[in-house]
Amino acid sequence: MKLNGKIVFITGASAGIGAATAMAFAAEGARLLLSARRAGKLAEVASKALARGAEAVHSIDLDVRSRHAVQRAIDELPPEWAEIEVLVNNAGLSRGMEKLYTGRIEDWEEMIDTNIKGMLYVARAVVPGMVVRRRGHVVNLGSMAGEIVYPNGAVYCGTKAAARAINDGLREDLLGTPVRVTSVDPGLVETDFSLVRFHGDAGRAAKVYKGITPLTGDDVADVILWAVTRPAHVNIARVSLTSVHQANTLLIHRDQ
């Protein structure tokens, strides 16, 4: 499939995997609909995407935790941006790494509201139009954490397990339509993920990637682009990817 002129909606596009995905689709000449909470950083990504080759870019200051804001953003799109062809449901985060019985409930709520409810709100607002138009592709950003729980990460892993189930359920619900649904489930990716998880503690975040060559946002974006550009009759249900230093969420080899 060619992406020239097709509208691609990417949530959480201000940094990390979202920003890398914007660059990958920009290079294919797509029209990018980008959203994030950090308007300043999002503007920087939009500018770089245009320089990379995007046909056009439209940015939305959006917090996916608000279902009313999500629906309003989609309902109020200019007509030339309304027919979304590809949705990359990327907005997500992890907060804290404590035992379940000592965790901060505020952290739990932020993860649940973003990783589960936010994904649902965006899909609910966008997918009906795809069904009516009989074309579209939803890519949900999952995680290996949705397959194997690791210590001190129960709630984050739980949100990604839920995302995995929702992804599969959506694909089942869309059976009989041409709309495709894919989950991309990476292992360790070096972005701001750990910095966010540890509430800005850069030293602690750096230790996560010490002694390994982790995935990059570009690696994940490349997989997303590959899945979306398969022939229209091919649905990539799920892609799980790691660095060669990682076997799963519990087994990581660190060079001395």
Ordered domains of the chain (ranges, CATH): 7-241 (3.40.50.720)
**40 touches 16 (CB < 8 A):** no
Residue 29 backbone class (left: φ over 0; alpha: ψ -120 to 50; beta: rest) = left
Q: For 118-145, what is the mean pLDDT?
A: 98
Cβ neighbours of residue 224 closer than 8 Å, sequence gap 6 or more: 21, 24, 88, 139, 184
* Residue range 1-41, pLDDT digits in tens: 899 999 999 999 999 999 999 999 999 999 999 999 999 99
pLDDT tens, 192-238?
999 999 999 999 999 999 999 999 999 999 999 999 999 999 999 99
Helices (H), ranges, the chain = 16-26, 39-52, 67-75, 105-111, 119-133, 154-173, 193-197, 202-208, 217-228
Encode 14-80 in three state secondary structure. CCHHHHHHHHHHHCCCCEEEEEECCHHHHHHHHHHHHHHCCCEEEEEECCCCCHHHHHHHHHCCCHH
Q: In terms of C-beta density within 10 A (0-12 exposed, 13-18 middle, 19 or more buried), how is residue 51 classed?
A: exposed
Mean pLDDT, the chain, rounded, equals 97
What per-residue confidence (pLDDT) applies to 256? 74
Query: 131 falls in which pLDDT band (50, 70, 90)?
Result: very high
Q: How far apart are CA 146 and CA 154, in angstroms?
A: 10
d(CA 174, CA 98): 38
First to last CA, the chain: 44
DSSP 215: B
**Residues labelled as active-site residues:** 156
User: What does the pLDDT look like over 220-230, one tens digit per residue?
Assistant: 999 999 999 99
Over its C-alpha atoms, the chain yields an Rg (Å, rounded) of: 17
